[in-house]
Amino acid sequence: MRNAPTILHLDMDAFYASAEQASKPSLRGKAVVVGGLGPRGVVATASYEARVFGVRSAMPMAQARRLAPNAAYLVPRFGFYRAISEQVMGLLHALSPLVEPLSLDEAFVDLEAGGVAWDAVSARLVGEKLRADIRAGTGLTGSVGLAASKMLAKIASEEAKPDGLVLIEPGTERAMLGPMSVRTLPGVGPATGDHLRRAGITTVDDLAEAGEDELVRLLGKAHGHALHAMALARDERPVVAEREAKSVSVEDTYDVDIHDRLRVGLEVQRLADRCVRRLRAAGLSGRTIVLKVRRYDFSTLTRSETLRGPTDDPAVVREAAARLLDSVDTTGGVRLLGVGVSGLADYTQEDLFAQAAGEGAAEQVAEEGDEEPVEEQQVVVERRWPAGHDVRHAEFGHGWVQGSGLGRVTVRFETPGSEPGRVRTFRVDDPDLEPADPLPLVEGAAGLSVEGVGA
């Protein structure tokens, strides 16, 4: 470990929900829950106002609705969040060449490698300026942890939430960690925490006192060694600038089990096309096609096929996924489908099968974007007007969908810089109403570049 708190961990505060509140004046200061809205959906993020009612990330959406029935429930806009994330990550890259993103809203930064901090005073100044720059550029808040290691920096940022900064001075780590719950440490989830509790170990001090041999006996060699080192505040992991992607995949969970084999096939084709678009956006190709099927009884089957060379051809991926589906029994219904590509490379190899399939299919996918197959467009109105997504009306201007159903869509007309707006209801096929791109959260900021907003 280094002798200065020059590792920074940034964690944006309730990121998805905060972005929605910033985008929608009528939701500011109110409970907002973002996630899948179907009966099998889960919470992606809950605003701090919603957390007061006990709503938490990864909670089943049905449970969240029982806890907070009056909250606003919105479908995620990942393209929108990704565009904001790129703004934030740009600020981090301006500080150091060593930035390790963990997700859209979380990253480590090695300030020493960037030459911007060398002691506690300079690190704190950098952290405070970063928080101010994020607020100025995005209108959102982030919490910052500063410490001499990644583990401690992440713990510090959690202690700083919401909208704060915590710096752990080198030499004070053991005293700070000691009284904390074992669940504070990375890798200690509910199961491990319960196992340790039954052994009389509930705090980090208890872990340190138990000794390495006892932890190895309780948890196994690798986990026991790692936890003992963390209990002693030892963490030598460097900030890694690039994490090589091992696979690219997409999946969908369905509100109602799909029983029709033809419909299952169409869904697999659609997922294959989405997966190829992600591959191409990342400049990648891959050799192994993977199909994931979760059946009505929650059993999950995975099938894969390795090609002779890497590809990003949609026809190849579709055909391979279809062959894999032929080997899976979907009798009884399907609740989740996924298509992925692994064995990634940054080049493609000509494939005779792709040539036989014809180049027209590739062009068709590029033009289709994220549109649903024609046969599916009329099945679920929600896909056309997801709650929370942006729209524009020829007369009333920019707004967002509050809800839809029974052939109607309800829209609140407001923008990030306006007062809370009025609500109006239209037919779902109103020719004057169309999907729109999100507006910048901060007046004067550059427009957000968002791909597939309505997807």
DSSP states along 288-307: EEEEEEEETTS-EEEEEEEE
Rounded average pLDDT over 175-204: 88
Secondary structure (3-state) at 392? strand
For residue 20, give Cα distances in angstroms to 266, 278, 286, 371, 410: 32, 24, 35, 24, 17
What is the percentage of the chain residues whose pLDDT exceeds 70?
88
pLDDT in the model for residue 243: 65
Band of pLDDT at residue 366, cut at 50, 70 and 90 = very low
pLDDT at 216 over 70: yes
pLDDT at 177 over 50: yes
- Regarding predicted confidence, which is higher, 365 or 6? 6
pLDDT at 164 over 70: yes
pLDDT at 187 over 90: no
pLDDT in the model for residue 454: 40
The torsion region of residue 295 among left (phi > 0), alpha (psi -120 to 50) and beta comes to beta
pLDDT in the model for residue 191: 82
Q: In whole angstroms, give the CA distance from residue 354 to residue 228.
A: 53
Strands (E), 227-375: 247-258, 285-295, 300-311, 334-345
pLDDT at 364 over 50: no
pLDDT at 381 over 70: no
What is the percentage of the chain residues whose pLDDT exceeds 90?
57
pLDDT in the model for residue 140: 96
Listed range (193-197, 318-322, 450-454) with the worst mean pLDDT: 450-454
Q: In whole angstroms, give the CA distance from residue 288 to residue 304.
A: 7
Listed range (131-135, 258-262, 363-367) with the worst mean pLDDT: 363-367
Rounded average pLDDT over 55-73: 93
Band of pLDDT at residue 376, cut at 50, 70 and 90 = very low
pLDDT in the model for residue 256: 83
- Tens digits of per-residue pLDDT, 396-430? 999 999 988 889 999 999 999 999 999 999 999 99
Rounded average pLDDT over 300-321: 90
CB of 408 closer than 8 Å to CB of 427: yes
pLDDT in the model for residue 320: 94
Q: In whole angstroms, give the CA distance from residue 213 to residue 410.
A: 62
CB of 245 closer than 8 Å to CB of 278: no
- Tens digits of per-residue pLDDT, 323-360? 999 989 888 889 999 999 998 876 554 433 333 333 33
For 433, phi and psi rounded to 5 degrees?
-110, 130
Average per-residue pLDDT for the chain: 86
Q: Is the dihedral of CA 41, 44, 47, 49 positive or negative?
A: positive
Band of pLDDT at residue 444, cut at 50, 70 and 90 = low
Rounded average pLDDT over 356-375: 37
pLDDT at 63 over 70: yes
Band of pLDDT at residue 383, cut at 50, 70 and 90 = very low
pLDDT in the model for residue 380: 40
pLDDT in the model for residue 39: 73
pLDDT at 40 over 50: yes
Which ranges in 31-169 belong to alpha helices (H)?
48-51, 61-67, 78-93, 120-138, 150-160
Rounded average pLDDT over 301-325: 91
Band of pLDDT at residue 393, cut at 50, 70 and 90 = very high
pLDDT at 378 over 80: no
CB of 4 closer than 8 Å to CB of 118: yes
Residues designated catalytic: 106
